[in-house]
Structure 1
Amino acid sequence: MVAPLAGKRVLDLGAFCAQRPHGLAAAMAARLCAAYGAEVVRPLPAGGEPLATQPPLLPGGGSALDRFLNAGKRRGPTSGRFDMAIGDSGALEAQADAVPIRARISVFGPGDDPPMSELGLLALSGLLGIVGEAGGPPARLAGHQVAYAAGLAACTGLLAALRAGGEEVVDVSLFDVTAWLNWKVAAGVLVLGAAPTRGNARNNWHTMPASDGHVALVFQDKDWPALRNMLGDERLQAPRFATAAGRAEHRPEFLSVITPWFTARSRAEITAAAQARRIPIGPVLAPVELLRDPQNQARGFLAPDGTPGLPLSWNGARIQPEAADAA
């Protein structure tokens, strides 16, 4: 099978982006292009690879972020012909004027790019208003979901521009992407008449202790009869527990009733019992356990050394990118 971007050359200018979210988004977009078969060149500034010291750090040294985002790329100069380039406005203007198709990462769109962090984007989009427990401090999303989603948007735009032919600038707004990630707020206003807030959307969401760790219990009202029957405690038949609002109002009492059932069983026992009744539940796994997870193994999501894969398909077939040539 011929990869869709085989024979194309992509210039990854993420290392020259002035701000961290832009650089991460550009690196992710280029990483996806590499997985689609493109030759991706990533030039570096005088100070070297900016991702090399970024956490999480690996036990043997080096950055897991660097290893993941730069897989399938090679170091090299900006000379030669490139089909596409990815970066912020400054990097593109300085080094990629002749590239016909360019993905330009910015905060709000073309124009001045104000200082912005991923945390700031989460706050502006309203995501910090729905993440975390009510009454507690705001909690940011794990990892770099904003930058990675922007990278996916940039790669999608590049593919569309390449398909259309000609010259084009693909503009990706980090804020627009983050607002799209927070689509549940708009949906909540349209459907319920009010935006969800921290705590409101998770009255039925709990992390429960098991005998060997924890499980995530996420259920809706339609799942309550099956969950109640699985737990088998007569106290749960009380009218105050019949609705999500009632369980939220009596949350401490509710948790005190259901917790002993979970603590007396292993994660595997709990998961099997819940899945047999089609109750949404799943074990909380440690990183090393993810390598042995049957679903991850079946999907090929993680390499034996823990490197995440990109389950990309083209015309229904899985793309297997070649290993990067280190330069």
Structure 2
Amino acid sequence: MAAPLAGRRVLDLGALCAQRPHALAASMAARLCAAYGAEVVRPVPESGEPFARLPPLLPDGGSALDRFLNAGKRRGPAATGAFDAAIGDSAALGAHAAAVPVRVRLSVFGPGEDPPMSELGLLALSGLLDIVGEAEGPPARLAGHQPAYAAGLAACTGLLAALRAGGEEVVEVSLFDVTAWLNWKAPASVMVLGAAPSRSGLPKDWHTLPVRDGHVALVYQDKDWPALRDLVGDPRLRREEFLTIAGRRRHHAELMAVLRPWFAARSRAEITAAAQARRIPIGPVLAPAELLDDAQHRARGFLGPGGMPHLPLRWDGARVGAEATDAALA
């Protein structure tokens, strides 16, 4: 399949954005454009690449974030020539891309509403912080840069649509709107149940449990309980207090006292194989290095030998413009 943006030039202004969430989102959108075959040019300020020392750091001291977001891009002090599209915040676009026909403008709340904002602030405003983590502890920040990366995906989608339509267009992407969309279950719960979910009201059905060689994610629904009960095989699980989901929630501590020793005595592979045989959605918690050898990732060709994801993927696992993308990452 031919790369859909082959022959297009995209200006990545992520390094010139004033705020970190905007910079990450613009860089992610441009990263996808490069994977779609575009020539992506990334001007950097005199101080250098802002992502160059951001964690996580690689053994050689470089930034894995920089390596991932800027793969396949051409960096330099200035951008010259004509461009089909540009991605950045309001100030960066105004200073460097006023004549570019398609401009993707990132802001916090929308045009003209761009106050100082962090990714943590976006998570809090969207309500996501209220549903992550244990009720007894502090809110837990989502791993990675999920709000910014989701905004980058939205920005790339809008850019592709604008290029296909032709002509001039400003694509507006609100970081808050995207983050609120990630928490779509909150408004749905308000409409259906009359209240938004919160950590204090979430049932304790799903857990991460220690096992002999790490951890597994114990994820099951009420329909899976008989299979899980039989898998563990402890007669105490047939007691009356564990017959219903309401009873298991009320007697959570007693339930865990029965389950934990069984899991702790077995390996991740042993538990996963036994659970899959009974169609219980239990899976291992993998370390980053283990993902390189994950059977599903290998089958889909998702990760390269050095751990770099091959993006984007089609629904059937094939990579778009794979030859051009691989050459750019080499």
Classify the TM-score, shorter chain.
over 0.9
Any residues of structure 2 matched to 1:50-61 within 5 Å, and which?
50-61=50-61
Q: What CA distance in whole angstroms lies between the structure 2 residues aligned with 1:314 and 1:269? A: 30
Q: Which amino acid is the alignment partner of residue 156 of structure 1? A: T
Mean Cα displacement is larger for which, 119-128 or 179-188?
179-188
Residues 283 and 317 of structure 1: CA distance in aligned 2, closer, same or farther (over 3 Å): closer
* Runs of 4+ residues deviating >6 angstroms: none
**Corresponding residue for 2:22?**
22
Mean Cα displacement is larger for which, 252-261 or 184-193?
184-193
Q: What CA distance in whole angstroms lies between the structure 2 residues aligned with 1:315 and 1:212? A: 33
Residues 283 and 316 of structure 1: CA distance in aligned 2, closer, same or farther (over 3 Å): closer
Residue ranges of structure 1 left out of the alignment (5+ in a row):
none
What is the Cα deviation at residue 274 of structure 1?
0.5
Q: What CA distance in whole angstroms lies between the structure 1 residues aligned with 2:190 and 2:117? A: 27
**Corresponding residue for 2:309?**
308
**Corresponding residue for 1:324?**
328
Mean Cα displacement is larger for which, 85-94 or 224-233?
224-233
**Corresponding residue for 1:113?**
114
Q: Deviations over 1:161-194 (max 9, x none)?
A: 1111110000000000000000111222223332
- The root-mean-square deviation of aligned C-alpha atoms, in Å, is 1.6
What is the Cα deviation at residue 202 of structure 1?
4.7
- Residue 42 of structure 1 pairs with residue 42 of structure 2: yes
**Corresponding residue for 1:126?**
127
Mean Cα displacement is larger for which, 124-133 or 68-77?
68-77
Classify the secondary structure of the residue corresponding to 2:43: coil
Classify the secondary structure of the residue corresponding to 2:311: coil
Q: Deviations over 1:208-256 (max 9, x none)?
A: 1111111001111111111111111111112222233322221111100
**Corresponding residue for 2:69?**
69
Residues 191 and 239 of structure 1: CA distance in aligned 2, closer, same or farther (over 3 Å): farther
CA contact (8 A) 2:12 2:30 kept: yes
CA contact (8 A) 2:211 2:264 kept: yes
Q: Which amino acid is the alignment partner of residue 193 of structure 2? A: L
Mean Cα displacement is larger for which, 117-126 or 199-208?
199-208
Q: What CA distance in whole angstroms lies between the structure 1 residues aligned with 2:20 and 2:137? A: 27
Classify the secondary structure of the residue corresponding to 1:226: helix
Q: What CA distance in whole angstroms lies between the structure 2 residues aligned with 1:243 and 1:8? A: 59
CA contact (8 A) 2:42 2:73 kept: yes
Q: Deviations over 1:136-178 (max 9, x none)?
A: 1000100000000000000000001111111000000000000
Q: What CA distance in whole angstroms lies between the structure 2 residues aligned with 1:226 and 1:241? A: 13
Classify the secondary structure of the residue corresponding to 1:324: helix
Mean Cα displacement is larger for which, 138-147 or 216-225?
216-225
Classify the secondary structure of the residue corresponding to 2:86: strand
Q: Which amino acid is the alignment partner of residue 198 of structure 1? A: R
**Corresponding residue for 2:159?**
158
CA contact (8 A) 1:72 1:322 kept: no
CA contact (8 A) 2:36 2:312 kept: no
Residues 187 and 129 of structure 1: CA distance in aligned 2, closer, same or farther (over 3 Å): same
Q: How many pairs align? A: 326
CA contact (8 A) 1:301 1:311 kept: no
Identity %: 75
Any residues of structure 2 matched to 1:142-157 within 5 Å, and which?
142-157=143-158
Q: Which amino acid is the alignment partner of residue 99 of structure 1? A: V
CA contact (8 A) 2:311 2:319 kept: no
Q: What CA distance in whole angstroms lies between the structure 1 residues aligned with 2:167 and 2:315? A: 23
Residues 263 and 317 of structure 1: CA distance in aligned 2, closer, same or farther (over 3 Å): closer
- Residue 136 of structure 1 pairs with residue 137 of structure 2: yes
Classify the secondary structure of the residue corresponding to 2:328: coil
Any residues of structure 2 matched to 1:88-99 within 5 Å, and which?
88-99=89-100
Q: What CA distance in whole angstroms lies between the structure 2 residues aligned with 1:17 and 1:10? A: 16
Any residues of structure 2 matched to 1:183-222 within 5 Å, and which?
183-198=184-199, 200-222=201-223
Q: What CA distance in whole angstroms lies between the structure 1 residues aligned with 2:93 and 2:328? A: 24
Q: Which amino acid is the alignment partner of residue 16 of structure 1? A: L
Length-normalised TM-score, structure 1: 0.96
Q: What CA distance in whole angstroms lies between the structure 2 residues aligned with 1:112 and 1:170? A: 15
Mean Cα displacement is larger for which, 228-237 or 199-208?
199-208
CA contact (8 A) 1:211 1:266 kept: yes
Q: What CA distance in whole angstroms lies between the structure 2 residues aligned with 1:55 and 1:266? A: 31
Classify the secondary structure of the residue corresponding to 1:203: coil
CA contact (8 A) 1:42 1:75 kept: yes
Residues 200 and 97 of structure 1: CA distance in aligned 2, closer, same or farther (over 3 Å): same
Residues 220 and 191 of structure 1: CA distance in aligned 2, closer, same or farther (over 3 Å): farther
Any residues of structure 2 matched to 1:237-276 within 5 Å, and which?
237-276=238-277
Mean Cα displacement is larger for which, 110-119 or 294-303?
294-303
